[in-house]
A = this chain, B = another copy of it.
Amino acid sequence: MSHQISEVNVAGIVEELRARGHRVTPQRRAIVAETLGTEGHIAPQAVAKKVSERVPGVNASTVYRTLELLEELGYVSHAHLEDGFQYHLVGRGGHVHLVCARCGRQEALPVEKTVPFKRLIEKHSGFSPDFSHFSISGLCAACRKLQDSR
């Protein structure tokens, strides 16, 4: 059931927090754990909700501030998806979300398929794109037909 655990774990992050002079609080532990335990992406709100199930009374603003800190440290990254503001682990494999701009239907594309394109972009400008947790808009097959037949 369990996937390959990424080399980034709670202890590692906690260690780096301390090493950088940040403090390790129960809230931060819980937020880090929740974020690492999430497959795919998660909204700050959702983190707040799930975390406060374990550690009672974690404030939303704390969640926002902690996620921002984790992003500064390079562990997570944010995206603006259809569902709003979302965080995801940097570099954790996954799939690309294709969202139809017309009907909203979502499809998935294995991340392997993006490798050649990723290489191309990296060669072009040194920029290393992360497709795995970002939606890409377009038209699904059905809506494309509709469009063409008009």
CB neighbours (8 Å) of A125 from chain B are 98, 107, 109, 141
Of B84, B144, B147, the contact of A126 (CB 8 Å cutoff):
B144
Q: Can you tell how many copies of this chain the complex includes?
A: 2
- Whether A84 and B80, one on each chain, are in contact in the complex, defined by CB atoms closer than 8 angstroms, is yes
Q: Which of A2-10, A50-58, A113-121 contacts B (4 or more CB under 8 A)?
A: A113-121
Also in contact, A128 and B144, with CB within 8 A (given A80-B82, A101-B78):
yes
Alpha-carbon distance A78/B121, docked complex (angstroms):
24
| Extra pairs beyond A98-B129, A107-B127, A128-B138 (11, CB < 8 Å) | A74-B150, A77-B137, A78-B101, A79-B137, A80-B81, A80-B84, A98-B127, A109-B124, A126-B140, A128-B139, A134-B136
